[in-house]
Amino acid sequence: MKTWIVAYVATAVVFFALDLLWLGVIARDFYRDQLGPLMLERPNLAAAGAFYAMYVVGVVIFAVLPSLGGTWAGAFLWGALFGAFCYATYDLTNFATLKGWPVAMTFVDIAWGTFLTGVSATVGVLVTRSVVGAP
């Protein structure tokens, strides 16, 4: 149980901090320009919190825990793949079903989700190993 908790907290902190930096500072204007009137003035914090909480569970189950006995590169790969599949599901569904969903948004968001999840899984593995030890 300690392993799972450490893995979850470490992964969540990194994922949330990097995504906040990306969405709130680095790519804020890009998202605003791409989404225009679809974007809320203030995000729905309950929905955002539910996403972060559930998504990190997936990262831990599918990337962090299976990689604890492997390499950091393996953790990055599994995390990146999980991120690519999840973000592609969201973005490609929006592109397929919403009028005016920008193609640039689709590619940038999938790339970001892939990178973000890979890095978060890697740090989750490294922190968990340093706190709990390798299996």
The DSSP secondary structure of 47-101, one letter per residue, reads HHHHHHHHHHHHHIIIIIHHHTTS-HHHHHHHHHHHHHHHHHHHHHHHHHHSTT-
Confidence label for 38 from pLDDT (cuts 50, 70 and 90)? confident
- pTM score of the predicted model: 0.94
Q: Is the pLDDT of residue 52 over 90?
A: yes
What pLDDT, on a 0 to 100 scale, did the predictor assign at position 133?
A: 83
pLDDT class for 97, splitting at 50, 70, 90? very high
Contact 43, 32 (CB under 8 A): no
From CA 120, how far away is CA 17, in angstroms rounded? Answer: 10
The rounded distance, in Å, linking the Cα atoms of 78 and 70 is: 11
Query: Is the pLDDT at 7 greater than 80, yes or no?
Result: yes
Give me the mean pLDDT over the 4-31 stretch: 97
Q: Scanning the structure block, which residue is given the tokens 């599949």?
A: 85
Amino acid at 67: S
